Structure 1
Amino acid sequence: MELKPMLFWDTKTVLTYMEPNFRFNLALKIPSIRKAEKAAPLIINRLVLHENHLVIDETEYKMKVYRQCQADAGLHNGEVDNDSDEYGFKIILDETYQPGDIKLTYNGNKGRGRICTLERFQYNCQAKVNSLPCNHYIRLYVSGSMTQFPYRNMKMHHLMRRLLTILFGNRTGEWTVKNIRVEDKIMRWPLTGRKPYVRNIELGLHSLLKMNAFHSIIDLSVPIARLKMRSFYSAIEDHPLFKHVEHLKISNTLFSLSLSHFFSIQTLKVSITRPTSLVENLDELISKLMEEMRPIGVRYSILVKEKVNLDTINHPTILEISTDYMQLAMGSEAVVVVQYTEDDRRTWLNIEVISREI
């Protein structure tokens, strides 16, 4: 029986149902299917980006530097986790920045001197090493296999950009990332190709740089189902990305945030997931809520430490009130419903704007 090669469309169909990492590996080994691989729909369940490794579903791509020192200067021979120059000095963040990279932190160590990785190499940096170069290699581990690259012409941040471009760059077919988390300080995202749909984002510590980064790399024609974040010093203000988020989860107490900024967020469902005390601030919360018209359908869920009787509130728009339930008029077409609910031994104060029954 004569064997015939699969047509382009048949190849696309087969690739669509393959596990992503197996599919990537197959395309690397068979150049003739690479165009079909880039065009076939792709679904990734989990994508985690770190400085020197990434995780796609259950497969980890991990990079290490392997050192073979030419002279005995007290340097540690073997594998280390840091990008360093030929003398063992750790490369600072700003030196890893490449055209097209997206910074996710304001602190790039700009203007600081090189940092010697003493905890790794255990030697006196300046005195012993300046004239003693070493041979370095980058090792890429994937599912137990290892590939080695010369270190002189490529650093780990170069390899990370190259790897992400090989895997995700130049895509023409629809692709979806169900869950994404970025732990690196620079996003080395591919410059070309179709943007992915993203369903869930773990932003970590909130910053405007991170919000801008995700806003620029995602296809926002499909809403983001959930965005999780926390704030330290930065104010969580409204951002164009929030309009495309169905559920925003903020791991802070409510009153560690600005109420004005909080109520300006253009996400219909917002949850505060760190227990908040309302004992002294319930009146302020309701007053700030009622200062402006809110869109019908918006819902705020606030995890509270304890219940505070709602019938202590005195506001001119109150329509109905009890210890656990309250309705307030918001214009002629909407009503604000405020009530407590229980969930897995936790108490939530839910605030929802609904259409007013006539």
Structure 2
Amino acid sequence: MDSKEQKDKLRQAVLEYMDPSFRFHLTLHVPALRSIEKEARLHINQLVFEDTQFFINNKTKYELKIDRKYAIEEHPFRISKIIGHDENAFGFPANANCIVMNGDVCMEKDNTRSTRSYQRLMETVKGEEPPVCESTLKLTYITGYGEITIYASSRITTIYEGMKVLIGALFGGRKMIWSVNSMGMRTKNLRWFESGEKPFVRNVKFGHYESVNVDGLTLICHPTSFPLKILNVEMDNRILDKEILVNAEYLIVRSEMVGQDMNYLDLLMISNQKIRIKGISLDTVAGLIECWLEHGRPVGTCWLFEIPQVAGEKLSRYIKNLRMNAQVIESDRRSIKLSMGRSSILSVVHGDSTLHDNEIWIVIMELQR
């Protein structure tokens, strides 16, 4: 090994022990280190993507905004200001999620609603000349210690293009598989890189989508990421048969619509054995218990329910009825075991959550031999 190789190996070793954000910041300012950094091992504990920003390890933030300055201002749209979204030449919010570049992964299946709204706005200025406006893209880099650095570009003037360049510079072009323990996806269109090794990802949490493209993960993650260890999604009956969801080792399904219960028949479509379900009603859980007792489930199936407490409802009242109407093998104050024939037992453990100030009931259903 010659002297240059030895130095490169030493630099790689030093980079591997650095905090990822500091490592990225260093190589962006020292071009000579960039190719070496791409060949070094990289592990990120948490990586969260949004439309205009992303976070590394829950402490470092990269945020893009646009500083728009109009030669002649005209309210309400044409006002000189710093904005956190893309605008078109007329000052209307741009439908940038429909703009797809090489490598991009669209995470929102249906954008027809926003497309129609954008088209209606554009009809109001049909035949007009756009106003004179100068745009500057600004990147705000905030470290875990609160230090803020702002970079500006007049060459790249849209957030979606800036995000494409930034993600490509930090994560693209890697020579070896890198790892991400937990990835959060809250962007409608991930501006992913075109070349380089993809990350080995263990856990994924999706934000709120009208219709999430779960299969998009195959274009984002290295093939060895699957099956995922944990997949966290909002309830959507259109994705329950997706291979990525079905094969996840542990599935978390949640409802973020206040006052809207999960559909009982939708839940019966889920075949996963290890699940946590958040935001489900007591009545729906009771129906699932009755269904399991009647039709069965594979031994080893274990579902945990987080049930928001509702005035007038009593979990203890339902458990009491269950004791009276089912074939009880044994029970105590916090659990009950019910016979499901000769070969299996349904164990139901219940109580209040200590994590939510007792505003959540916890029910665990498990099929045992």
Between the aligned partners of 1:72 and 1:342, the Cα distance in structure 2 is 57
Alpha-carbon spacing, 1:206–1:300, altered in 2? closer, same or farther (3 Å): farther
Amino acid aligned to 1:69: Y
Between the aligned partners of 1:193 and 1:293, the Cα distance in structure 2 is 47
TM-score by length of 2: 0.77
Could you say which residue in structure 1 is the equivalent of 2:261? 256
Could you say which residue in structure 2 is the equivalent of 1:268? 273
Q: Does 1:352 align with 2:351?
A: no
Alpha-carbon spacing, 1:321–1:181, altered in 2? closer, same or farther (3 Å): same
Alpha-carbon spacing, 1:271–1:70, altered in 2? closer, same or farther (3 Å): same
Answer yes or no: is the 8 Å Cα contact 1:86–1:136 preserved in 2.
no
Answer yes or no: is the 8 Å Cα contact 1:224–1:246 preserved in 2.
yes
2:149 to 123, 145, 148: 145
Alpha-carbon spacing, 1:130–1:241, altered in 2? closer, same or farther (3 Å): same
Answer yes or no: is the 8 Å Cα contact 1:249–1:270 preserved in 2.
yes
Alpha-carbon spacing, 1:115–1:65, altered in 2? closer, same or farther (3 Å): farther
Post-superposition Cα deviations, 1:15-48, rounded to whole Å, max 9, x if no partner, equal 1111112111222233333233122221223322
Post-superposition Cα deviations, 1:94-152, rounded to whole Å, max 9, x if no partner, equal 553323322222125234445779xxxxxxx859x83532222212222332322225x
Alpha-carbon spacing, 1:14–1:85, altered in 2? closer, same or farther (3 Å): same
Q: Does 1:311 align with 2:310?
A: no
Between the aligned partners of 1:347 and 1:54, the Cα distance in structure 2 is 34
Shift of 1:157: 0.5
Between the aligned partners of 2:349 and 2:212, the Cα distance in structure 1 is 36
Alpha-carbon spacing, 1:134–1:33, altered in 2? closer, same or farther (3 Å): same
Amino acid aligned to 2:365: I
Post-superposition Cα deviations, 1:222-279, rounded to whole Å, max 9, x if no partner, equal 5544333333x755623212245333222339x933445424434332122225223x
Shift of 1:164: 0.8
Could you say which residue in structure 2 is the equivalent of 1:337? 347
Could you say which residue in structure 1 is the equivalent of 2:104? 101
Could you say which residue in structure 2 is the equivalent of 1:9? 9
Could you say which residue in structure 1 is the equivalent of 2:145? none
Alpha-carbon spacing, 1:54–1:343, altered in 2? closer, same or farther (3 Å): closer
Could you say which residue in structure 2 is the equivalent of 1:56? 56
Between the aligned partners of 1:111 and 1:331, the Cα distance in structure 2 is 59
Alpha-carbon spacing, 1:281–1:297, altered in 2? closer, same or farther (3 Å): closer
Gaps of 5+ in 1: 118-124
Q: Does 1:289 align with 2:292?
A: yes
Higher strand share: 1
Amino acid aligned to 2:153: F
Answer yes or no: is the 8 Å Cα contact 1:138–1:148 preserved in 2.
yes
Shift of 1:155: 1.8
Between the aligned partners of 1:263 and 1:126, the Cα distance in structure 2 is 50
Identity of aligned residues (%): 22
Could you say which residue in structure 2 is the equivalent of 1:38? 38
